[in-house]
Amino acid sequence: MGLAFLRWLIISAMFAAVVVFPILHSRNVWNHGRRLRVVEAGKMYRCGQLTVAGFKDAVEHYKLKSIVNLQDDYPDPDVYKTFWDRSTISEKKVCEDLGVKYLFISPDLRPRPEVPSKRPRAVEDFLKICDDPSNYPVVIHCRAGLHRTGVLAAIYRMEYNHWTVNEAFREMRDHGFGDFACTNANDYVIQYVLNYKPGIRIPLAAVEKEPRIAGVGSN
């Protein structure tokens, strides 16, 4: 009985060392810097929801001055300290502790009858942030760093890097927006990317009182 238990213990330890620990380590690394990517070096970065430690490393490495949360369903999300430490701190408090700006944009949609004559309010909010040099370097993020982050990164590409719609569209797919979601039938793709016209600024006061359709908490 004792020998059998010892054999089981050794096999379990080997399994944990070979299989479990590497998986946990990879999850820790992934959560720490969830899809953190460079859009334009020294200016614009993108990612999913980072841990407190992940934000700290990103701020130190990229000298970030602003963090923009795009999670319309979580205006001030609770952030895990690390993958291993599940205690939380509000993202706004994280930014205060790191000495960076905390900014929030709620990616909305226009009622379909208004498209393409009008664009989402979030576009104006985003351009206002990007037009202010004091905000850079800036990182934008939603939960997964795919959809809400993807459409605003595409706007940055078209507005400030002078990319074509097709180039921005292709990068969205390459960065995980998904072939099924990244189509001309997706309302976010239509309103934020396919209908986007660079160089236009609409005063926020002109759109603040207009009806908005809240986002649906996509990735």
Residue-by-residue DSSP string for 126-166: HHHHHT-GGG-SEEEE-SSSSSHHHHHHHHHHHHHS---HH
Helix axes 121-130, 148-160, angle to 10 degrees: 60
Residue type, 88: T
What pTM was computed for the model?
0.81
More confident position, 3 or 139: 139
Of residues 118 and 40, more confidently modeled: 40
CA separation, residue 171 to residues 16, 73, 143, 144, 157 (Å): 38, 25, 19, 16, 10
HSE value, Cβ hemisphere, 13 Å, CA-based, for 180: 0
Q: Are strands 66-69 and 138-141 parallel, antiparallel or unpaired?
A: parallel
What backbone phi and psi angles, to 5 degrees, belong to 54? Answer: -65, -45
Residue 19 confidence (pLDDT) above 50:
no
Q: How confident is the model at residue 56 (pLDDT cuts 50, 70, 90)?
A: very high
Q: pLDDT value at position 202?
A: 87
The more confident residue out of 135 and 9 is 135
How many other C-beta atoms are found inside a 10 Å radius of the C-beta of residue 179?
7
